[in-house]
Structure 1
Amino acid sequence: MIVELRRYTLRAGRRDELIDLFDREFVETQEELGMAVLGQFRDLDRPDQFVWLRGFADMPSRRTALTAFYTGPVWAKHGPAANDTMLDFDNVLLLREIVAVPVLDRGTR
């Protein structure tokens, strides 16, 4: 799996506005296109930060899904409002497993 760790710096007082828009318009749309929204986080010490994780099966599916989302009708309609809440949206780390995570049988210790 490929995971994006995304950190946005927001305009003062606009985090809840972005989160409401994100939850309402972007989560299901991305999941329908094969992306996994893995989590969203408020940085309690920095009210101008929004952090979230997005997953993809692999790099080719990432490219396909991102292209479909950012050229699609939902982003065309709601993307400008989302971008208006942000000062910086380029803080993205692209992560991948370096060692496979072991899957344990629940019947064993």
Structure 2
Amino acid sequence: MLHRLFDSAFDRNFSEATPAHAHCDLYCGVYDPAQAKIEALSCLKTLQKYHDSDDEHFKTRAIIIKERQAEEVKHHLMVLWADFFTKDHFEQFPNLHQLFWDGVHGAGDVK
């Protein structure tokens, strides 16, 4: 019942909405590689804590958290690669594509 009510209200209010595509709601223009770095370091620390623990419940929780953090690394790197870098960046830094390719795939390996 509540689900149908929500769907009906959603359809009424947003049926004519134009889809917007951006990494945030306002296309803010803020791009900072620090977000990816923090998540990557967090993955590393989480893995260290995982290996240092004998508690199976803690280890399960660490795996869940590490996988979520690795997905965030991939997300932040892909946003930078797709939305921030321009042709000029790739000309100025010829290894940029490979660097990001390796970073995204490395985060996938952590997952």
TM-score (norm 2): 0.26
Higher CA-based Rg: 2
**Structure having the larger proportion of residues in strand:** 1
Higher RCO by CA contacts (8 Å cutoff, separation 6 or greater): 1
TM-score (norm 1): 0.27
